[in-house]
Structure 1
Amino acid sequence: MSECPHVRKLPHPEPAPLSETCPECLAIGSHPVQLRLCLVCGHVGCCDSSPHQHAGAHFQETGHAVMRSFEPGAVWRWCFVDGSIV
């Protein structure tokens, strides 16, 4: 894992999750796959393996570049701008 400039700009401590699952999936009756937590604002969204890709849509709408897995036991982070694990 490498450091990127977007990670250095993240709030500390990281934001609390705004929900337990992807609210956009719940609203449309879809099942979220592999949840992601926005490390800027705490939005929880489904990953790019989900039919609706709400975590990626959140980045496109907000510019919040870094998220982490919101799955139990997973610790990695992803930067949408750099397109890499950070």
Structure 2
Amino acid sequence: MSETCAHVVTLPTDVTPSTTAGCEDCLRIGSRWVHLRECLSCGHVGCCDSSPNRHARAHAGTADHPVVRSFEPGEDWRWCFVDETFV
């Protein structure tokens, strides 16, 4: 893992997931998802790039919140959409 992403220094120390039931945007529109990602700026839970709607990436772009973490059980990694790197 790399700590070269400057976006990690702007993250709050703690966020609360917006939902634990799945991708909040997919739940709203009745769609499916593959894997979940949590925004480390605000807690938005969205679906991964392998999902049909790619809500985590869309949120990162519209909200200017570039860093997510895996919201999958047993996974512990973070990704920056801007720098396209693990952090």
TM bucket (normalised to shorter chain) is over 0.9
Match of 1:38? 39
Q: Percent identity?
A: 60
1:16 counterpart letter in structure 2: T
Matches within 5 A, 1:7-86: 7-12=8-13, 14-20=14-20, 21-86=22-87
Query: TM-score, normalized by length of structure 2?
Result: 0.93
Q: CA–CA distance in 2 between the matches of 1:6 and 1:31?
A: 29
Equivalences, count: 85
Question: What SS does the aligned partner of 2:46 have?
Answer: strand
Structure 1 segments unaligned to the other structure (5+ residues): none
Write out the 4+ residue segments of structure 1 that deviate beyond 2 Å after TM superposition: none
8 A Cα contact 2:67 2:79, kept in partner: yes
- Structure 1 length normalisation: TM-score? 0.94
